[in-house]
Amino acid sequence: MPSYLVTGAAGFIGRSIAAALLARGETVRGIDSFITGKRANLVGLEAMEFIEGDLADPAACAKACAGVEIVFHEAALASVPRSVADPVGTNRNCVDATLNLLVAARAAGVRRVIYAGSSSAYGESPTLPKHEQMLPAPISPYAVAKLAGEHYMGAFTRVYGLETVVLRYFNVFGPHQDPTSHYSGVLAIFCRRMLAGQQPTIFGNGEQSRDFTYIDNVVHANLLAAAAPAEKVSGRTMNTATGSRITLNETFAILRELTGYSGQPAYAEERAGDIRDSLADIRLAGELLGYKPIVDFREGLRRTAEWYRGGGGQE
């Protein structure tokens, strides 16, 4: 019987968690609807039982949760601008999907659900670093949808006793992130363009900053969250990041070295729904999970650029 379910298993983060579980010899089931997931991301995960299904369909959730002990819920439409263009679609695939999954998890006797929260929950509040006691202030439909999922996690712990853990991810990047959509994460887009000798576009003046978090750190936090004692972590929300930030202009300069791109970026109007600065306080995950970043930004970016250089992410 499968012990672990990964939702969004054909997505960037889901496939990375599944790969780490398989490498440990665990029994893993994955589900993905391929709305944004890619079949290419399943290569190397052949030992995983895979279900093609949409979590907005309760029957798919029931099938996915049967016999599972721990769920990593990574499925989402992970994009602020996409949610601005289609808030209803984001709600369906983030909020409806999460609620259906929780209902199915409870019915199936799942012990723990670990949820991919988003730093976008903090919104525009100027305080840095962001810590978990701050009142959420979401400003995009995406942020609202991801935050609603967090609250559902909390409610299912309080009301039904399901163990839940929320990991609030800060701008995750790394190999397998899709670089081909204009909704893709900025580092994936920049790597792909700059390696191809194409000019990237910075929205705004490039002085916005992010706590860009390399994927291995996020996988590490998830594995810790799965193993941690319930009395320590259940019902808790923890930032999952590096605790340092860098501006887009600085990042561009590093990527110039890594990719050999010799041009300058184009600058365009700031994007609607964007926040300016993001930086995590990661002490809580340190206390509750023993988490600390295992790969720093520069090394992560080097590995990422190498992956795209080797042909990763082409479609």
Q: How far is the CB of 166 from ligand UD1 (least distance, A)?
A: 13
Asked if 119 interacts with ligand UD1 (CB under 6 A), we say yes
Q: Is 259 in the site for ligand UD1 (CB under 6 A)?
A: no
CB of 239 to ligand UD1, least distance (A): 10
Footprint on residues 209-228 left by ligand UD1 (CB under 6 A): 210
Residue corresponding to tokens 């594995």: 223
275, 280, 285, 289: which one binds ligand UD1 (CB under 6 A): 275
Judged by CB under 6 A, the residue of 278, 280, 282, 293 near ligand UD1 is 278
Set 142, 261, 291, 308: catalytic member: 142
With binding defined as CB under 6 A, does residue 149 bind ligand UD1?
no
Smaller CB distance to ligand UD1: residue 9 or 22? 9
Q: What is the dihedral of CA 166, 168, 174, 177, to 10 degrees?
A: 80
Cβ neighbour number for residue 309 with a 10 Å cutoff:
14
Interface mask toward ligand UD1 for 76-95; x: CB under 6 A: --xxx---------------
Choice from 114, 202, 218, 258 touching ligand UD1 (CB under 6 A): 202
> Which lies closer to ligand UD1 via its Cβ, residue 70 or residue 280?
280
Under 8 Å between Cβ of 191 and 259: yes
List 55, 189, 221, 295, residue binding ligand UD1 (CB under 6 A):
189
Name residue, tokens 């769920």.
71
The least CB distance from residue 163 to ligand UD1, in Å, is 24
Pick the closer one to ligand UD1 by CB: 27 or 201: 201
Nearer to ligand UD1 (CB atom), residue 156 or residue 173: 173
Cβ atoms of 97 and 148 closer than 8 Å:
no
Site string for ligand UD1, 21-60 (x = CB under 6 A): ----------------------------------------
- 248 scored as a contact of ligand UD1 (CB under 6 A): yes
Span of 6-14, 49-57, 154-162, 271-279 interacting with ligand UD1 by CB under 6 A: 271-279
Among this protein's residues, is 291 annotated catalytic? no
Beta bridge partners of 55: none
Between CA 298 and CA 303 the distance in angstroms is: 9
Cα–Cα nearest to 98, from 81, 73, 62: 73
Distance between CA atoms of residues 223 and 305, nearest Å: 25
Supply the residues annotated as catalytic. 142
What is the contact surface with ligand UD1 in residues (CB under 6 A)?
78-80, 118-120, 169-172, 185-186, 189, 201-203, 208, 210, 248, 271, 274-275, 278
